[in-house]
Amino acid sequence: MIADLRAQIAFLPGRSFERGDGGRSTIAAADDFAYTDPVDGSVTTQQGVRIFFDDDARIVFRLSGTGTEGATLRIYLERFEPDSARQGVETQAALAPLVRIADLIAGVQERTGRKAPSVMT
């Protein structure tokens, strides 16, 4: 799945998705990010795929574990909400459009058969 996402990176910017609230989210940028150790300066590449949207939202797909086989797929969803009246909206409801978009991009449900994550934090 991560390899497929990496193969899509160059083609993701400009793709637009209906959010379900009448608006659209358009991918502004995507990358396969690296981590630079602040102590020794070593760089570890291919840490995950980040997708940035024009509406200050972000999706990060990342594997955790010791290898690609049997690793856990972690999906991080973030969205800035400038409207103080909407900042109390329940998290799952507020992020539902991003959940939908993440599944459209990565096909998690289709690939795994899972309709919900096993852990949410």
Q: Is residue 84 part of a domain?
A: yes
User: Distance between CA atoms of 57 and 14, rounded to whole angstroms?
Assistant: 14
**Domain total of the chain:** 1
Share of the chain above pLDDT 70, in %: 96
Whether residue 22 lies inside any domain: the answer is yes
- Please give the sequence-ordered ranges of beta strands (E in DSSP) within the chain, or none if there are none: 16-18, 24-36, 43-53, 57-64, 72-79
The span from the CA of 53 to the CA of 15, in Å, is: 10
Please indicate, yes or no, if residue 121 is contained in any of the structural domains: no
Q: Is residue 59 part of a domain?
A: yes
In a domain, 98, yes or no: yes
71-90 mean pLDDT: 90
CATH code of the domain covering residue 48:
3.30.310.50
Residue 95 domain-assigned?
A: yes
52 part of a folded domain? yes
Domain that residue 10 falls in: 2-112
**What confidence tens digit (pLDDT) does each residue in 47-65 have?**
999 999 999 999 999 988 7
Please tell me whether residue 104 adopts helix, strand or coil conformation: helix
Mean pLDDT of 65-75: 75
pTM of the model: 0.86
Query: Would you say residue 119 lies in a domain?
Result: no
